[in-house]
């Protein structure tokens, strides 16, 4: 019984030491890491919840919320080696499931989208990283090794090995590129890519318009045209814009 309770906590300690360069020792983690403290209280309240003890699990959850700023419903299922970094404002709903070695930053919400009973909160597979302020809503599944960018809002299932950014969240594929779980700066900037693409096309259109005006002046003056006045139109439906506008469902490859 004691080992069953201690093993997840030891895994939580190891993952903090592995992923956080600021962690300088076990005692510091025990006393100064609200994410770890919230998980300790949650594992106790979850055990009481599974034993169907009335009221006490929710009270334990509220004590954790009061002292850590992290709200975890006692019904939520959390795996081993989970790291809630800083954690202020994190909310995890009753039917949420979090796999082993997941990483959640401050302000993350794993919430529901309605008042229905049953499964209504997300399931995170193993090694999922959810960036600061991201919202994952509804009874959806986020696949293994997926990374969700800061501030994203995810409303649909996401396949494994994906990177999700934006509101609503869109999958940006990075085949064969391994990203450090803590390296938020390596997440792609979908908006910047689309804006750059559109600016290049505006520049092309302005050049084409200027050429057409020159051709018209030559024709009006009765002079022969030295070069072709027509240009090849560019399609707006390229990969970057399709991904940004969500032309395909979020889980498609």
Q: pLDDT by residue for the chain (253 residues), tens digit each? A: 566 667 888 888 888 988 888 888 889 989 999 999 999 999 999 999 999 998 999 999 999 999 999 999 999 999 999 999 988 999 999 999 999 999 999 999 999 887 778 899 999 999 999 999 999 999 999 999 999 988 899 998 988 988 888 888 777 765 545 555 556 555 666 666 777 778 878 888 888 888 888 888 877 877 776 666 655 555 555 665 655 555 444 444 4
The confidence score (pLDDT) of residue 105 equals: 93
Q: Is the Cβ–Cβ distance between 20 and 26 less than 8 Å?
A: no
Cα–Cα–Cα angle for 118, 124, 126, rounded to 5 degrees: 140
Residues 71 and 34: their CA atoms lie apart, in Å, by 11
What are the tokens at 54?
């009335």
The confidence score (pLDDT) of residue 8 equals: 81
Three-state SS letters, 115-142: CCCCCCCCEECCCCEECCCCEEECCCEE
**Full set of structural domains in the chain with CATH:** 2-186 (2.160.10.10), 190-245 (no CATH)
Phi-psi region of 222 (alpha: psi -120 to 50; beta: other; left: phi over 0): left
Determine if the pTM surpasses 0.85. Answer: no
């Amino acid at each position: 019984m004691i080992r069953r309770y201690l093993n997840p906590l030891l895994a939580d300690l190891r993952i903090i030491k592995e992923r956080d360069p600021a962690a300088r020792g076990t005692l510091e983690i025990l006393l100064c890491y609200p994410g770890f403290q919230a998980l300790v209280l949650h594992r106790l309240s979850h055990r009481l919840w599974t034993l169907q003890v009335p009221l006490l699990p929710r009270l334990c959850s509220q004590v954790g919320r009061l002292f850590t700023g992290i709200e975890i419903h006692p019904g939520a299922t959390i795996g081993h080696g989970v790291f809630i970094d800083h954690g202020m404002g994190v909310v995890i709903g009753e039917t949420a499931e979090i796999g082993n070695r997941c990483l959640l930053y401050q302000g993350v919400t794993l919430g529901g989208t309605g008042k229905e009973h049953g499964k209504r909160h997300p399931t995170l597979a193993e090694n999922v990283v959810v960036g600061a302020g991201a919202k994952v809503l509804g009874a959806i599944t986020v696949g293994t090794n997926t990374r969700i960018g800061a501030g994203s809002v995810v409303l649909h299932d996401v396949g494994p090995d994906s990177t999700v950014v934006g509101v609503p969240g869109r999958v940006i594929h990075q085949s064969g590129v391994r990203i450090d779980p803590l390296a938020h700066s390596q997440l792609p900037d979908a908006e910047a890519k689309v804006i750059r693409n559109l600016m290049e096309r505006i520049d092309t259109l302005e050049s084409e318009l200027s050429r057409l005006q020159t051709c018209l002046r030559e024709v009006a003056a009765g002079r022969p045209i030295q070069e072709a006045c027509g240009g090849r139109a560019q399609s707006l439906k390229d990969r970057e814009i399709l991904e940004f506008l969500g032309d395909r469902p979020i889980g498609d490859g």
